């Protein structure tokens, strides 16, 4: 991978989740030595700090089917501008969450510069709920639906009519879908490599197909990695743990293969929750996975 100027953007947002803690995710990943890891690979690092997010204690969820929707939309509006500016400046946006609702801001900003975007979505969950299908009202379960043009107009307003073609979205590591969400996702045209496919075909073959799908006919490829894609045995610091996930080595192999393909134009790492972690073990893993996606190798 050629050296890049990596612009780090922190988004300490936890309005989209059901429990506190992921607002500290950006700090945990930085503390794990992210900057030095990226410099060792040969990249230049610019850290622009964090997008300002009011603490949840100062707000109240007014909409039970989409909790804190107004606050989430406002933060994502700022994030979209920040990501768009990073691309315009010729840098590589690296977004640190925060919960996965920040993907709406990241992708909205990317679409302004890369209208035909491919997305690799590593996650235990589908994040394809809408106001009608959500069992929890948590907006971190809705970003993919919003970016393909579904869901409440407020969640779609930062996209300004731009959408991602669901046929250019590839899920990896899925193992927990809500019933109505599963029906909606299956109809969407997105490719889903659940843990069944990972087990059956192996990560090498899964990634070969995934990289082919997201890179053909696209202007760029975004990697969105929810740390709960990794089994909680290796990543205990997640607010939505679900057993049977990727091993640490499977996750590293997947991102090493992404780096070999050299097609990434942006990356985000989300849902690291230091409150639930063990001595920042998950924060360190997140930093290491980012480094793997950007070219780090054992030898």
**Residues 80, 108 contacting (CB under 8 angstroms):** yes
Query: Which domains are seen in the chain, by residue range?
Result: 5-293 (3.40.800.10)
- Residue 47 CB: number of other CB atoms within 10 A? 16
pLDDT score of 20 more than 90: no
Within 8 A by CB and 6+ apart from 21, the residues are: 14, 239, 273, 274, 275, 276
**Which whole number is the average pLDDT over 233-257?**
96
At CA 100, angle to CA 99 and CA 105, rounded to 5? 105
CA distance 37 to 128: 33
* pLDDT tens, position by position, 163-182: 999 999 999 999 999 999 99
* pLDDT tens, position by position, 88-139: 999 999 999 999 999 999 999 999 999 999 999 999 999 999 999 999 999 9
pLDDT score of 56 more than 80: no
**Which pLDDT band, with edges at 50, 70 and 90, does 299 fall under?**
low
Least confident of 14-23, 74-83, 190-199, 240-249: 14-23
Mean pLDDT of the residues in the chain = 96
* pLDDT tens, position by position, 44-54: 999 999 999 98
pTM of the model: 0.97
**Which whole number is the average pLDDT over 272-298?**
96
Question: Look-up: residue for tokens 């192996």?
Answer: 202
**Which whole number is the average pLDDT over 48-72?**
86
**Which pLDDT band, with edges at 50, 70 and 90, does 63 fall under?**
confident
pLDDT number for residue 9: 98
pLDDT number for residue 44: 98
Least confident of 11-20, 172-181, 267-276: 11-20
Q: Of the candidates 266, 267, 255, which has an alpha carbon nearest to the alpha carbon of residue 295?
A: 255
Q: What are phi and psi of 4, to 5 degrees?
A: -125, 160
**Quick one: which H or E segment has residue 114?**
none
Within 8 A by CB and 6+ apart from 85, the residues are: none
How many Cα atoms are found within 13 Å in the side-chain-facing hemisphere of 223? 30
Q: Check residues 65 and 271 and name the one with the higher pLDDT.
A: 271
Q: Which residues pair with residue 224 across a beta bridge?
A: 121, 268
pLDDT number for residue 239: 87
CA distance 16 to 138: 5
Annotated active-site positions, please? 100, 123, 125, 127, 140, 226, 228, 271
Q: What are phi and psi of 30, to 5 degrees?
A: -60, -45
């Amino acid at each position: 991978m050629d050296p890049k100027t990596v612009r780090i953007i922190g988004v300490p947002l936890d309005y989209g989740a059901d429990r506190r803690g992921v607002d500290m995710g950006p700090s945990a990943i930085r503390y794990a030595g992210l900057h030095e890891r990226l410099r060792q690979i040969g990249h230049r690092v610019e850290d622009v700090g964090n997008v300002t997010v009011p603490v949840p204690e100062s707000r109240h969820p007014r909409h039970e089917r989409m909790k804190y929707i107004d606050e989430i939309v406002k933060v994502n509006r700022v994030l979209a501008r920040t990501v768009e500016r990073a691309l315009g400046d010729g840098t590589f946006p690296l977004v640190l969450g925060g919960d996965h609702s920040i993907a709406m801001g990241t992708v909205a900003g990317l679409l302004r510069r890369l209208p035909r975007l491919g997305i690799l979505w590593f996650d235990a969950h589908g994040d394809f709920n809408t106001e009608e299908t959500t069992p929890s009202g948590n907006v971190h379960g809705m970003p993919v639906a919003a970016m393909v043009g579904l869901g409440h107009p407020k969640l779609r307003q930062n996209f300004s009519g731009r959408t991602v073609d669901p046929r250019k979205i590839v899920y990896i590591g899925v193992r927990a879908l809500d019933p109505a969400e599963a029906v909606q996702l299956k109809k969407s045209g997105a490719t889903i490599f659940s843990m069944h496919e990972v087990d059956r075909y192996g990560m090498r073959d899964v990634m070969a197909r995934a990289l082919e799908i997201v890179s053909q006919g696209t202007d760029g490829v975004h990697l969105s990695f929810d740390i709960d894609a990794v089994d909680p045995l290796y990543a205990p610091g997640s607010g939505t743990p679900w057993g049977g996930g990727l091993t640490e080595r499977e996750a590293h192999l997947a991102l090493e293969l992404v780096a070999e393909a050299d097609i990434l134009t942006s990356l985000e790492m989300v849902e690291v929750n230091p409150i639930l972690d063990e001595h920042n073990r998950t924060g360190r893993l997140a930093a290491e996975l980012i480094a793997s996606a950007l070219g780090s190798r054992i030898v």
